[in-house]
Amino acid sequence: MTEDNKKPDNPERRTFLRKAGLLPAGLYLQASTLTSAQEETAIGRPVADRASMAGHASPVLKTVRVGVIGAGRRGDTILRLLGGLDGVEIKAICDPYQPAIDSAKQLFAELGVATPVMYDNGDYAFRDMLARDDIDAVFVLTPWSWHTPMAVETMLAGKHAFVEVPAALTLDECWELVETSENTRMNCMMMENVCYGREELMALNMVRQGVLGELLHGEAAYIHELRWQMKDIEEGTGSWRTAWHTRRNANLYPTHGLGPIAQYMNINRGDRFNYLTSMSSPALGRQLYAKREFPPEHQRNQVSYITGDMNTSIIKTARGRTIMLQHDTTTPRPYTRHNLIQGTNGVFAGYPDRYALESEGDFHEWHTDISALQARYENPLWQKLASDATASIGHGGMDYVMLWRIVYCLRNSVPLDQNVYDAAAWSAVIPLSEASNADRGNSRDFPDFTRGAWQTTPPLEVSEYRT
């Protein structure tokens, strides 16, 4: 099993990037001489003479020929869904872990379609896959520290990159994604599947139709008890993800809750994240869990867990709006992403779904029956795909809707709903929350990854979801 503890950032890759003109020697050396704390808070890159990728539509692909890197738990879901979509051919799969390759083979036998070519020869076998000339799009479904390196090399190989969340772990990586996408004109979409949830897309429709009035405030979270993953020791998500709780005191996984709120607020399309302040609670739960569940000499009891059990950040946008964002994968409590969006006329919130609108009279009580809203504001994508989506696997249908939409955009030369600036801004919360928390909650600025284009990029309209 490939651990991601080692930095998959070999010198060969840096040389490769520099030769390709993506890392000007001076620029990279300058970044590499920063201490890690400085690097986390470095906010600027020289203004580059490159066209923005905002609104970029890539040429029509009649068939989307796909390569997949990482055939673990997430890989299984994505492969099953992609395998059933019209206009998709899965050409190759890469994973150095033999049981993952074996179960992918088994899956294609079940689906009754040709088995893709398998690449399993070590951590860098994905480069052999990227050298193929019959792949248009690569799905990066690996542990976190591989996301940016693999997405960057995918784009350099002339293929669109679809990368799991979070897309990047440092500000340097965020910029690397932006610069590579701009230079290569290849799409880089972080697959924030929650943006395709039925309720999230309905709320987007309500916001665009002005039902909530002018937007003021949002609340987002990833509160999901995942201590049980610590029992993945040799393989599985917890075998690599647990290690992050010993490395960084930050919001480790910001994008599921934040993505939809960012879309409601037109972040990078009329507004942008300006600065953030963040604080973490004590980190107690994982140590207690390890003591309770493992013998004293077990490796889970030989480390200290430093990620505060609950991290709370507040983001201020350029237009003055606020977003409260939380991360907690440790405490015993029910799952929530909050999904609260507040405007001058009222509020919509999730977990459970509820709303209150001044225009409908009583806003002192929550209305928990949202069927009238669904009848009026269902997103066109869900109107079209609901029966297939709800019958499919993957987070209540949002994974199906996301993949269907990606394939539709690529086959029809339609700009993707999430671009590289979204991937960068949403992922930047990780290093910024870490730096702010380490400095008594003093604020940290978000880089403007769009280099000003947020002011002129039009909002993502619900009408764009009509197909």
Q: Given the rule CB under 6 A, which of 73-81, 102-110, 348-356, 416-424 is the region that contacts ligand NAD? A: 73-81
97 binds ligand NAD (CB under 6 A): yes
75 binds ligand NAD (CB under 6 A): yes
Min dist. Cβ of residue 78 to ligand NAD (A)? 9
Structure tokens at 465: 């979801």
Of 2, 205, 277, 450, the residue at the interface with ligand NAD (CB under 6 A) is: 2
Of 31, 41, 104, 126, the residue at the interface with ligand NAD (CB under 6 A) is: 126
Q: Given the rule CB under 6 A, which of 43-51, 140-148, 196-204, 220-228 is the region that contacts ligand NAD? A: 140-148
Nearer to ligand NAD, 8 or 459 (CB): 8
CA distance 2 to 240: 9
328 binds ligand NAD (CB under 6 A): no
Helix ranges restricted to H, 84-236: 98-111, 126-130, 147-156, 171-184, 198-208
244 binds ligand NAD (CB under 6 A): no
Q: Given the rule CB under 6 A, which of 142-150, 203-211, 244-252, 359-367 is the region that contacts ligand NAD? A: 142-150
138 binds ligand NAD (CB under 6 A): no
What is the spatial order of strands in the sheet that 354-357 belongs to? 354-357, 346-349, 340-343, 215-223, 322-328, 311-317, 273-280, 444-445
Q: Given the rule CB under 6 A, which of 91-99, 105-113, 308-316, 414-422 is the region that contacts ligand NAD? A: 91-99
CA distance 377 to 207: 10
DSSP string across 247-306: T--S-S--HHHHHHHHHHTTBTTTB-EEEEEEEE----HHHHHHHHHS-TTSGGGSS---
Q: Which of 85, 81, 67, 86 is nearest to 159 (CA)?
A: 67
220 binds ligand NAD (CB under 6 A): no
> How many residues belong to the chain?
467
96 binds ligand NAD (CB under 6 A): yes
Nearer to ligand NAD, 45 or 241 (CB): 241
Min dist. Cβ of residue 87 to ligand NAD (A)? 22
Min dist. Cβ of residue 5 to ligand NAD (A)? 11
Nearer to ligand NAD, 4 or 182 (CB): 4
141 binds ligand NAD (CB under 6 A): yes
349 binds ligand NAD (CB under 6 A): no
Instruction: Check the CA dihedral 457-458-462-467 and report its sign.
Output: negative
DSSP string across 85-115: STTEEEEEEE-S-HHHHHHHHHHHHHHTSPP
| β-strands 354-357, 346-349 pairing | antiparallel
348 binds ligand NAD (CB under 6 A): no
Q: Given the rule CB under 6 A, which of 71-79, 217-225, 426-434, 457-465 is the region that contacts ligand NAD? A: 71-79
145 binds ligand NAD (CB under 6 A): no
Q: Which of 139, 143, 81 is nearest to 107 (CA)?
A: 81
144 binds ligand NAD (CB under 6 A): yes
CA distance 392 to 81: 8
Contact letters (x/-) for ligand NAD, 17-56, by CB under 6 A? ----------------------------------------
Other beta carbons within 10 Å of 62: 9
Of 70, 254, 257, 350, the residue at the interface with ligand NAD (CB under 6 A) is: 70
CA distance 453 to 467: 27
**Is residue 431 reached through a cis peptide bond, with omega within 30 degrees of 0 on the bond before it?**
no
Q: Given the rule CB under 6 A, which of 51-59, 141-149, 292-300, 426-434 is the region that contacts ligand NAD? A: 141-149
Task: Report which DSSP code applies to 428.
Answer: T
Structure tokens at 273: 């994240």
Size of the site for ligand NAD (CB under 6 A): 27
- Residue 261 CA neighbour count, 13 Å, CB half: 37
For ligand NAD, the binding residues (CB under 6 A) are 1-2, 69-75, 94-97, 100, 123, 126, 141-144, 146, 164-165, 193, 236-237, 395
